[in-house]
Amino acid sequence: MTIALIVHGGAGSWRPGSDADAIAGTTAAVDAGRKILQKGGSALDAACAAAVVLEDNPIFNAGTGAVLNYDGYVEFDACVMVAERAQIGSVSGLQRVKNPILVARQVMEETDHVMLTGEGALRFARVMGHGDHDPITPARFEDWKSKKATLDIGVGKDAKGSMKIREFLRKHPEYAGGTIGVVALDARGVLCAATSTGGVTLKLPGRVGDTPLSGAGTYANKFAASSATGTGEYVIRSLSCRAISEGVERGKSLDDSVTEMLAQMTRDFDADVGFIAIDANGNAVANHSTAHMPHAFFKDDSKIVARMFVEKA
Ligand code: ASP
CA of 232 to the centre of ligand 1 (A): 5
> What 3-state class would DSSP assign to 293?
coil
In the set 179, 197, 229, 290, the catalytic residue is 179
- The per-residue b/e assignment along 76-100, b for 16 or more CB within 10 angstroms, e otherwise, is bbbbbbbbbeebbbbbbbbbbbbbb
Nearest alpha carbon, ligand 1 atom 9: 199
pLDDT value for 18: 83
The pLDDT score that the predictor gives to residue 168 is 64
pLDDT computed for residue 162 by the predictor: 43
- Where the chain has pLDDT below 70, the residues are 15-17, 152-177, 313
Residue 229 Cβ < 6 Å to ligand 1 = yes
HSE (CB half, 13 Å, CA atoms) of 149? 5
Does the beta carbon of 211 sit less than 6 angstroms from any atom of ligand 1? yes
pLDDT given at position 165: 64
- 27 flagged as catalytic: no
Distance CA 310, CA 278 (A): 16
- The structure's pTM equals 0.94
178 lines ligand 1 (CB under 6 A): yes
Q: Which of 54, 182, 197, 213 to mutate to test the pocket of ligand 1 (most atoms within 8 A of CB)?
A: 197
Residues 23, 46: contact at Cβ < 8 Å? Answer: no
Return the pLDDT at 174: 54
CB neighbours (10 Å) of residue 149?
10
Contact indicator for 87, 94 with CB cutoff of 8 Å: no
pLDDT at site 187:
98
Q: Check pocket membership of 177 for ligand 1, CB cut-off 6 A.
A: yes
